[in-house]
Structure 1
Amino acid sequence: MGNTSKKLAAKCTLLTKEEQKYVAATFRAASKNSERIREDDLIVSGKVDAVLLEKFWGPQIDPRLAQYLSNFLFGSGQQKSPSVDFNRFAELYVYNVRGTVDERMMVTYNSLGKDYNETVELPYQLLREYCESIASTYIKILKSSTSHRARTWIEKGFRGKASHVQALGEAVAATVGGDLDSPHHHCTADQLSKWLQTNILLKQLAELVFVNLYGINKKAGDESPTPLPPSMPSLLPIPEGLDAMPDYPAFIDLSHIVWLNSHLPQKHQHKWRFLFSSHIHGESFSTMAGRIQDQGASVLILEDNSGHIFGGYAPVSWSIGPNFTGDEDSFLFALAPKMRAYPSTGYNDHYQYLNHHTKTLPNGLIMGGQFEFGGIWIDADPFGAGASAESCSTYRGYKRLSKEPTFRIRSLEVWGVGDKPVVNKDEGAIAYSCSTYRGYKRLSKEPTFRIRSLEVWGVGDKPVVNKDERLSKEPTFRIRSLEVWGVGDKPVVNKDERLSKEPTFRIRSLEVWGVGDKPVVNKDEYAGSNQASVLKTHKSEYKMLQMMGKPVGETNF
Structure 2
Amino acid sequence: SRADGHSFNRLCHHTLGYMGPTIVVAKDKLGRVAGCYNHSRWIDSLSFQGSMDSVLFTLAPRFSALKVDRSQKACKGRHFLYLSSQTATTNKHGRWPCGGCGGGGEGGRTRLWIDAELEKLKWVGAAACATYPGGGDDWTPQDGEIEVCEVWGCGGRDAEVAQEQYRKRQALMAEQARKVDRQAMFGGGSSHWKDNPDKFILDIAGITGAGNDFYGDLDKEPPPE
Give the structure-1-normalised TM-score. Answer: 0.29
Equivalent residue for 1:314?
38
Secondary structure class of the residue paired with 1:396 = coil
Q: 1:474 to 1:302 in 2, by over 3 A?
A: closer
Does structure 2 retain, via aligned residues, the 8 Å contact 1:378–1:387? Answer: yes
Equivalent residue for 2:82?
353
CA distance in 2, matches of 1:388, 1:349: 18
- Partner residue of 2:159 out of 376, 399, 421: 421
- Partner residue of 1:334 out of 58, 70, 93: 58
CA distance in 2, matches of 1:397, 1:447: 43
Deviation track 1:315-374 (CA, whole Å, cap 9, x = no partner) reads 111111122111111111221222222211145621121112242321111221247411
Q: 1:284 to 1:371 in 2, by over 3 A?
A: farther
Q: 1:408 to 1:449 in 2, by over 3 A?
A: farther
Equivalent residue for 1:383?
118
- Partner residue of 1:463 out of 186, 189, 193: 193
Whose Rg is larger?
Answer: 1
Secondary structure class of the residue paired with 2:111 = strand
Give 1:412 deviation, angstroms.
Answer: 0.8
Q: 1:454 to 1:364 in 2, by over 3 A?
A: same
Percent identical among aligned pairs is: 24
Query: Cα RMSD over matched residues?
Result: 3.4
Q: 1:321 to 1:353 in 2, by over 3 A?
A: same
Does structure 2 retain, via aligned residues, the 8 Å contact 1:320–1:354? Answer: yes
- The answer on 1:398 being equivalent to 2:145 is no
Give 1:450 deviation, angstroms.
Answer: 5.8
CA distance in 1, matches of 2:138, 2:173: 35
Structure with the larger strand share: 2
Q: Which has the higher contact order (CA 8 A, sep 6+)?
A: 2
Does structure 2 retain, via aligned residues, the 8 Å contact 1:328–1:349? Answer: no
Q: 1:282 to 1:290 in 2, by over 3 A?
A: same
Q: 1:386 to 1:336 in 2, by over 3 A?
A: closer
Give 1:411 deviation, angstroms.
Answer: 1.1
Unaligned runs of 5+ in 1: 1-277, 431-441, 477-557
Aligned letter for 2:6? Answer: E
Unaligned runs of 5+ in 2: 92-97, 210-225
Equivalent residue for 1:284?
7
Deviation track 1:490-520 (CA, whole Å, cap 9, x = no partner) reads xxxxxxxxxxxxxxxxxxxxxxxxxxxxxxx
Q: 1:461 to 1:386 in 2, by over 3 A?
A: same
Give the structure-2-normalised TM-score. Answer: 0.67
- The answer on 1:323 being equivalent to 2:47 is yes
CA distance in 1, matches of 2:204, 2:85: 43
Does structure 1 retain, via aligned residues, the 8 Å contact 2:23–2:151? Answer: yes
Instruction: Within 5 Å, give how 1:86-485 maps onto structure 2.
Output: 278-295=1-18, 296-346=20-70, 349-359=78-88, 360-361=90-91, 362-370=98-106, 372-380=108-116, 382-389=117-124, 390-391=126-127, 392-400=129-137, 402-419=139-156, 420-421=158-159, 445-446=169-170, 451=175, 454-456=179-181, 457-458=183-184, 459-464=189-194, 474-475=207-208
